[in-house]
Chain A
Amino acid sequence: MNRFPGIKYGLIGGVCLVILSIIGMVEAFNQREIVSEVISMGQALLLTAAAFIAYLPAARAGGGTRGLAASVSSGLIMMAMLALLVLLSTVVNLRQVFINASPGLFQILKFQQEDLWVGIGLLLLAGGLTGLTAGLLVMTPDLLRRVVIAALTTVVMVGTLQDTISPIFAEWGPLADINDLLYEGNGLSIPGALGLFIAVAAAAAAWILKGQAIKGRVQSLPPVSRRRLNMALVLLGGFVLLVLPHILGLFLSEVLTIIGLYIMLGLGLNIIIGFSGMLDLGHVAYFAIGSYTIAILTSPELGFFNWNFWQALPVAIAAGAVTGVLICTPVLKMRGDYLAIATLGFGEIIRLFVLSDFLRPWLGGAQGIGKIPKVELFGFEFGTPQQVYYLILAGCLLIGFIAWRLRDSRLGRSWMAVREDEDVAQAMGINLVSTKLKAFAVGAGFSALSGAIFATKLGSVYPHSFNIMISINILCVIIVGGIGSIPGVVVGAAALVGLPELLREFAEYRLLVYGAVLVAMMLLKPEGLWPEVTHKRELHESENDSGETTAAEPARNKA
């Protein structure tokens, strides 16, 4: 088997493609067209996956005719397995077991051909061509490959996000013309796609060739003008952040507010997991505590206190921090995995208590608490998503600033020492108990703030909003962005929370993709998309010494 990598990868890839089809992703994504009437997202998904898998054996063989043969044969085998699935569907009704194996799916796999054998022929042809492309891609020079991949990715993104981009463009004078040129019907028009491809390819080529030179020029500027340039960039960024909701409109502002809430939660969890290395799976508990404290203190529905938001906010944050300390105390001495389960248990306990009839008079039971008043500041009410955006932006900036300052403080350094090695940290005079408790208090406080804003944004709180999925989402956000990295949290939240909101049909597969992303990140790129510098150096320290090693290696060396 190992002598024919093409066959091995083809079989593995074939199983992956069959699973992708059977769980219904291909069909669900097919509603979106990338290039109108030419290629849909479902087909693009299959072909991209096939191309990626066919690329591997070719890259391993190092290109050449052997590599080409491997990639073409693996592409053919993959599509042959899909063809077998189509054939099988004509004999047995797969739908009795596999709920998503619908006629629509097989229609897509047959490229909408009426005749079965023509469809299967097309499928095999596509497999061979995909394999060929992947094999050729291995052999193309590095520059060309990067340019082609960048351009293709952009075309796919722009095509997929048509219903987001198009309405924004349509409103702004000259951009409307571009919009008409770019899109047609349900996707990109053919000239639009080609034009975009060429434009992006040219820009990417220019950046790869000249980017270093531009960076070098900036570096060599005198300090005064460099500082001015930085100031100008910061001001520009700030301005864009301020006007963003008015450019993007109501729906996208709503998406931005959700991303913002996750950024706050992510920064909170980042302190606990990323800085101090304790895996907390019950993070949703603090989010819930923040929300419920605000609800109890401000909602006239219960009528205990009727405070306003600003009076209740410090109490909510304090309640979150105290809960963090209380949850942390019994598990202080536990190893990472015990901590994970214990915190998971705590998160569930809190949800169960809130849900129970026993505490209904105080917490509202399953119906939750409603009529939470909007936030008011100097007579300005934060009601619509566009207004709440500013509240959340302020929260994110505040928390981001605190997290950034804490990271390089004495406390931040002790957190990282504890993360690396508890025993050594203790020997260096770090008080483990208070350091860990502080991490939990700060992280929980951040999340409670996020929860508080969430409660007023929604106007009501329900126990069902606070399930384990939220904890897992936050975990994914910080892992994908890069554990311990503050900009990484922003990138992770935008990618993992923002994108699914834009791709609505993706919602059903959200956690499937999250799970796959978590595994893939851990196997291939454990430092994340935007890693912290030291962490990256650590994970790859041995690579410079011994050429080819995996990310798992440094730990093995340490042990």
Chain B
Amino acid sequence: MLQRLKERTSATDVIMWLLGGALVTLIIWGSTVTLIKGTYSTRHWLDFIIFGLAQGSIYALIAMGYTMVYGVLRMINFAHSEVFMSGPYTAYFFAAYFYQSGLLETHPAISLILIFIVSMATSTLIAVLLERIAYRPLRGAPRLVPLITAIGASFFLQYMFRGFYGSGFQAYPVIKALEGPMVLGPIHILKFQALVIAAAAFLMVALYQFVQRTKIGKAIRSVSEDKEASALMGIDVDRMITMTFVIGGAAAGAAGVLYALMFKQVHFFMGFIPGIKAFTAAVLGGIGNIPGAMLGGIFLGLVESIGPSLILDGLGIVAPYQLKDAIAFTLLVLILIFRPTGILGERLAVKKA
């Protein structure tokens, strides 16, 4: 028994397990200390959870784009973070105009819907152009080639938008109707957070139903199963790939407006960190798996908002919130070590195809 175990494990496995074990011990130790000390009240924890839910549902929406593109093209669309940035940044100018003309005060719902439409349209346009110009000529190229193209496209788009709109932060106008708290039983929730969670939930359900029920959705799923067989069944593969980018782009555009509502500013570099987080979320849920991406996004959002106070505070680390991004990346590494398939996924992380 011991002999067989010895044969099967290599030095790297041992190092990985030790590393993982050390991290898990730290997590358990940190959270126990925090809970025993009782620095935070129940109210605090509830606030953290709601913030985490709001943040996580934004990640989930972005992660949909990563996971669907990965499904059909087997590549990480690195430029998806710029698809996410382009929408709200363009919609900002409409929002500012609505604010000046007073429409935002008198008809907040109409102007919000217009902002959403502009943002989603821009993001979709960018995503489709990206696919057409940069990715389509590279079908079937060696695996590093499309990935490097995507990295190049990402930086190109970032700095193109910087050239368009300037390099400063633009403050999104505050919508009066969305300020102030809302009381739901024992829970106090800020109105814009409620809107973010509700809108994201609605969009996710709608997108999921679209992919599951409609003919286009079925065609997309079949393309991600097997391109050749789908083509033989009369599915226009190129069109379905474009549709995937359309859906991913629209979701990212919507997520962008929600992000702008939450953090009240836009910037040409704003896509980078949420992009990586959303990718982490997609891996967390199992890449290529749509419900997995949603679950992963929300889980990541929660870990990020609770983690610093729960774990790092207990370890005696000063200013734990500075390290919240580090928590997300550590989570990514832990997932890659212990369950590369993600929460719901099949094993795709290991080389396939």
Contacts and interface: CB of A to CB of B under 8 A. Distances in A.
Interface stretch (A70-78, A132-140, A345-353): A345-353
A532 interface: no
A519 B155 CA distance: 10
Interface string A314-353: 0000000000000001111111111011101110110011
A98 B140 contact: no
Given A330-B16, A358-B322, A342 B152 contact: no
A521 B165 CA distance: 27
Which of B11, B78, B140 counts the most chain A CB atoms within 10 A?
Answer: B140
B204 interface: no
B76 A337 contact: yes
B17 to A, nearest CB: 11
Contact of B322 (A355, A433, A523): A355
Contacts of B145: 522, 526, 552
B163 A22 contact: yes
B176 to A, nearest CB: 24
Contacts of A99: 164-166
A40 to B, nearest CB: 19
A356 B350 CA distance: 34
B164 to A, nearest CB: 6
Interface in A442-463: none
A97 B317 CA distance: 44
A198 interface: no
Interface string B136-178: 0111111111111101111111111011111000000000000
Nearest to A524: B137
A487 B221 CA distance: 45
Given A341-B76, A357-B322, A516-B156, A349 B329 contact: yes
Contacts of B37: none
Interface string B62-91: 000000000000011010000000000000
Given A550-B137, A555-B141, A522 B164 contact: no
A515 B156 contact: yes
Contacts of B137: 523, 550, 552
Contacts of A334: 336, 340, 349-350
A332 B325 CA distance: 23
B313 to A, nearest CB: 11
A429 to B, nearest CB: 16
Interface in A416-468: 422-423, 433, 437, 468
Nearest to B154: A515
Interface in B290-334: 317-320, 322-323, 325-326, 329-330, 332-333
Contact of B12 (A332, A512, A516): A332
Given A99-B165, A433-B10, A522 B276 contact: no
Contacts of B162: 23, 512
Nearest to A356: B322
Nearest to A558: B142
A100 B163 CA distance: 7
Given A345-B329, A348-B325, A352-B322, A333 B152 contact: no
Contacts of A516: 152, 156
Contacts of B147: 279, 336-337, 340
B322 A515 contact: no
A514 B336 CA distance: 31
A512 B155 contact: yes
A281 B150 CA distance: 13
B158 A358 contact: no
B196 interface: no
B144 A336 contact: yes
Nearest to A469: B155
A358 B322 CA distance: 9
A335 B138 contact: no
Nearest to A522: B149
Interface in A543-558: 550-552, 555-556
Given A511-B158, A518-B151, A523-B134, A22 B164 contact: yes
B163 A23 contact: yes
A509 interface: yes
Given A334-B336, A344-B276, A19 B160 contact: yes
A129 to B, nearest CB: 28
B111 to A, nearest CB: 18
B171 to A, nearest CB: 15
Contacts of B148: 279, 475, 479, 518, 522
Contacts, number: 187
A357 B318 contact: yes
Contacts of A482: none
Contacts of A391: none
B321 to A, nearest CB: 10
Contacts of B144: 273, 277, 279, 336, 483
Interface in A356-389: 356-358
A472 interface: yes
Which of B144, B350, B353 counts the most chain A CB atoms within 10 A?
Answer: B144
B283 interface: yes
B187 interface: no
A329 B138 CA distance: 31
A512 B163 contact: yes
B93 interface: yes
Contacts of A335: 143, 349-352
Contacts of A509: 159, 163
A337 B143 contact: yes
Given A98-B164, A522-B148, A511 B323 contact: no
Contacts of B19: 329-330
A267 interface: no
Contacts of A472: 151, 155
B28 interface: no
B113 interface: no
A14 interface: no
A515 B317 contact: no
B346 to A, nearest CB: 14
A341 B279 contact: yes
A518 B148 CA distance: 7
A25 interface: yes
B337 interface: yes
A412 interface: no
A356 B319 contact: yes
B5 interface: no
A559 interface: yes
A329 B337 CA distance: 9
A521 B153 CA distance: 12
A276 to B, nearest CB: 11
B223 to A, nearest CB: 17
Nearest to B316: A358
A168 interface: no
A514 B323 CA distance: 30
B151 A433 contact: no
A24 interface: yes
10 contacts: A329-B12, A334-B349, A335-B143, A341-B280, A345-B333, A512-B155, A515-B153, A515-B157, A518-B155, A519-B134
10 smallest CB-CB distances across A and B, nearest first, come from A23-B163, A518-B152, A515-B156, A512-B159, A515-B155, A345-B329, A99-B166, A552-B141, A556-B140, A519-B152
Interface of A: 19, 22-25, 96-100, 273, 277, 279, 281, 329-338, 340-342, 344-346, 348-349, 352-353, 355-358, 422-423, 433, 437, 468, 472, 475, 479, 483, 509, 511-512, 514-519, 521-523, 526, 550-552, 555-556, 559
Given A334-B340, A433-B11, 15 more contacts: A329-B19, A334-B349, A334-B350, A342-B333, A422-B351, A515-B153, A515-B158, A516-B152, A517-B152, A518-B148, A519-B153, A521-B152, A522-B138, A523-B138, A555-B142
